[in-house]
Structure 1
Amino acid sequence: MGRMCYSAQIRADYKRFFRQFGGVLSLRAFAKLYYERQGNPRIKIPKAVDAAFMSPESDEEREIKGLIEAFNAEQAMALEQDLFKQRKRLADAERKLQVKATKKATEDVRIATAKIEWGLGKLADLNRVELEPRDARIFPGVYVPVMIWEDGQRVVKPMRYQCRPAGKPAKFDALYPGTYIARRDNLEGFWKDVFGRSHGIMVVNAFYEHVKQGGEDVVLEFRPRPQQDMLVACLWSAWSAPGEPDLLSFAAISDEPPAEIAAVGHDRCIIPIKPENVDTWLRPDRTNQEALYKVLDDRERPYYEHRLAA
């Protein structure tokens, strides 16, 4: 049946969206994440998120822009160095092949050519200013802007798309790689410490699923019709442990799919909630879980068109 919502496309100009929606960007949280990324390239942030800080409007945003540019310059230098190495490898192998065809030289040509192509593509992506749809595509492990309720207002913070609940060991990520999704029928089971406590919203306008078709695994893109921003119901957690960097992470809630998704072989669907229910969701009353289930039931129900993902 495939892995639920293994990828989604977030709204590219999320900064403007959240501002209109009444959400305040926590610039301190974004600056902290970008600062941490300097020393930890495993922190993945979509280019569409970077883009929001490329026309800074405050000192904090200028600081974030500086961190992004420094990181990109470092990445570019590493790519240039690798390209230099691969071009030398290719030239050496081609010289050897002129003398004698060997398996190793042939293999070196193949690998170096592929790595040069990959490196040039990465470099072009790094330097590209115009956003493309893939720049807003997210996968588990990637950081995404998530709206939560904090200090009496809607606040937007970057969080990792794969929840590590507070109190779990760091190795939990590897042991339970599927925790980017919280099944609705498990909210009071596995997710009982988070459900009714810390709720969030991610804004997406498409999602992607692995499905079996004709015996092979294909990726389908699902888009709501009419086209719209979906306010996806999420759970999040603030994790900390001695000697480890703090982690904000989240999971999207999934439920039974509508007929058109079930028909193409997928058994789950994310839950887009209605704008008027956002505050009820973000400020959960733990003593009234019935009201929270009502928000999940009273959802937006667009028709999801699908096509093979590019």
Structure 2
Amino acid sequence: MCYSAQVRAEYAAFQRMFPSSKLSLKGFWEIYWKRREQPRPVMRFPKAMDAMFASPQTDEEHRIGALIDEYNANQTTTTEQALFKQRKRLVDAERTLATKVTKKAQEDQRIATNKIADALGKLERLRRTDLGEQDYRIFPGWWAPVLIVEEGELVVRPMRYLCRPPGKPADYDVKFSGAYNARRDNLKSSFWKGVFGEQHAVALIPVFYENVVRHLAEHRELGPGEEPENIVLEFRPQPQRTMTVACIYSHWTPPAGSDEPELWSFAAITDEPLPEVAAAGHDRTIVALKPKNVMTWLTPQGRSHGELDAMLEEKERPHYEHRLVA
């Protein structure tokens, strides 16, 4: 499973690779407006995607930028208030501990210290304007820009990285929480009916991350009394480059009488691991399309499953170097 990845979230990256692509400003405005109007569940966007609208040029971009600025200002205020509360909690706990050690005061001290650190980290992220690698990273349920063909044109549209197939109920998001990836050997199943062979996309990904078990990554057995430990590995193609990763997407519309909003969502296709990924302890690898196959992949209608699968088989096979990140 590709549980996390860095995505090229800036429009310039799409334009360099696909000069005729257009930005769906309506699509971006809709998700930022929805985040404002429906704060629960929280909609998460990479900071790099927000940064596309930091220097707006058009009226539409100004409106999107204003929604982002308003949201960040509200988040800053809420976080500062929480920080003040936790700092008071810490002072009160330390005052109590100075005269008498109690379990409650120790717990308050521990919890307040952790929450203060979290709040300071969040404020730093909100206020920072320069982008680092972490600002391009997405996780399941986050939103990211992907490239599709819409009415004959290449369009960059934001979608949720957790696909809800058309016709399925909204609770599929919970029942099938792993649907941010689509196994190549499962694409022809009924689960992906109406998606594979119909609605294809690509994401621009230079790096992906995987959860692996430490002792398997280290090619050893568990030691006496040792419990399996999860670690996170970062995989980078060599030579370093941005990959066009094969995806499928869904434009989900609610059934009659439902108050659920429409949803654009996608899943990255994964395949059997390349040897160096398997050696690192993981059993899947994302599928990076060869450049010559991208436009064909994006226009699947009328093509046979065999023809589409052949493009996945003909995928790029870079060597992935990995390192421990967590």
Which category describes the TM-score, using the shorter chain as reference length?
over 0.9
Deviations 1:267-304 (A, max 9, x none): 11110102221111111034422221121122211110
Q: Does 1:212 align with 2:222?
A: no
Identity percentage over the alignment?
A: 54
What is aligned with 1:175? 175
Offset of residue 93 of structure 1: 1.5
Match of 1:304 in 2: 320
Task: Work out the CA distance in 1 between the residues paired with 2:302 and 2:281.
Answer: 35
Deviation at 1:193, TM superposition (A): 2.1
Matching residue's letter, 1:17: A
Are residues 1:288 and 2:290 paired? no
Instruction: Give the SS at the match of 1:52.
Output: helix
Counterpart code for 2:113: T
* Match status 1:230 vs 2:243: yes
| Worse-matched range after superposition: 51-60 or 219-228 | 51-60
Does 1:7 find its partner at 2:4? yes
* CA-CA distance at 1:207 after TM superposition: 0.4
Task: Provide the secondary structure at the position in 1 that maps to 2:68.
Answer: helix
Deviation at 1:203, TM superposition (A): 0.5
Deviations 1:79-99 (A, max 9, x none): 011111111111222222223
- Measured after TM superposition, the shift of residue 39 of structure 1 is 2.6
TM-score with structure 2 length normalisation?
0.91
SS of the residue corresponding to residue 257 of structure 1 reads coil
Size of the alignment, in residue pairs?
306
| Corresponding letter in the other structure for 2:245 | V
Mapped pair 1:270 → 2:267: no
State the 1:57 CA deviation: 1.9
5+ residue gaps, structure 1: none
Query: 2:70: which partner in 1?
Result: 70
Q: Distance in 2 between matches of 1:108 and 1:308?
A: 33
Q: How far did 1:216 drift?
A: 2.1
Separation (CA, whole Å) in 2 of partners of 1:270 and 1:51:
26
Name stretches of at least 5 consecutive residues in structure 2 with no aligned partner: 216-227
- Alpha-carbon RMSD across the aligned residues, in angstroms, is 1.2
4+ residue stretches of structure 1 with deviation over 4 A? none
SS class of match (1:284): coil
Q: Which residue of 2 aligns with 1:23?
A: 21
What CA distance in whole angstroms lies between the structure 1 residues aligned with 2:138 and 2:108? 33
**1:240-263, CA deviations, whole angstroms, 9 ceiling, x for partnerless residues?**
212111110010111111111111
* Cα distance in 1, alignment partners of residues 291 and 317 from structure 2: 13
Structure 1 residue 107: Cα displacement: 1.2
CA distance in 2, matches of 1:181, 1:170: 17
Q: Counterparts of 2:115 and 2:13 in 1: how far apart (Å)?
A: 38
Paired AA for residue 280 in structure 2: V
**Cα separation, 2, equivalents of 1:263 and 1:19:** 36
Q: Structure 1: which amino acid aligns with 2:4?
A: S
Pairing 1:73-112 to 2, within 5 Å after superposition: 73-112=73-112
Q: Distance in 2 between matches of 1:245 and 1:283?
A: 27
Deviation string for 1:188-230 (max 9, x for gaps)? 1121321100000011001011111224221110000010110
Q: Which amino acid aligns with 2:210?
A: E
Structure 1 CA distance for aligned equivalents of residues 324 and 95 of structure 2:
43
**1:191 match:** 192
Read off the aligned partner of 1:31 and give its amino acid letter. W
Q: What displacement does 1:18 show?
A: 1.3
Secondary structure of the residue that 2:206 maps to in structure 1?
Answer: strand
Residue 128 of structure 1 pairs with residue 125 of structure 2: no
Separation in 1 of the partners of 2:264 and 2:79?
30
Quote the Cα distance in structure 2 between the aligned partners of 1:24 and 1:40. 27
Amino acid at match of 1:124: E
Instruction: Kindly state the Cα deviation for residue 152 of structure 1 after the two structures are TM-superposed.
Output: 1.0
Q: 1:68 to 1:60 in 2, by over 3 A?
A: same
Distance (Å, rounded) in 2 between the aligned partners of 1:212 and 1:103? 35
| Whole-angstrom CA distance in 1 between matches of 2:232 and 2:160 | 22
Cα separation, 2, equivalents of 1:273 and 1:229: 11
TM-score by length of 1: 0.96
Aligned residue in 2 for 1:39: 37
Letter paired with 2:2: C
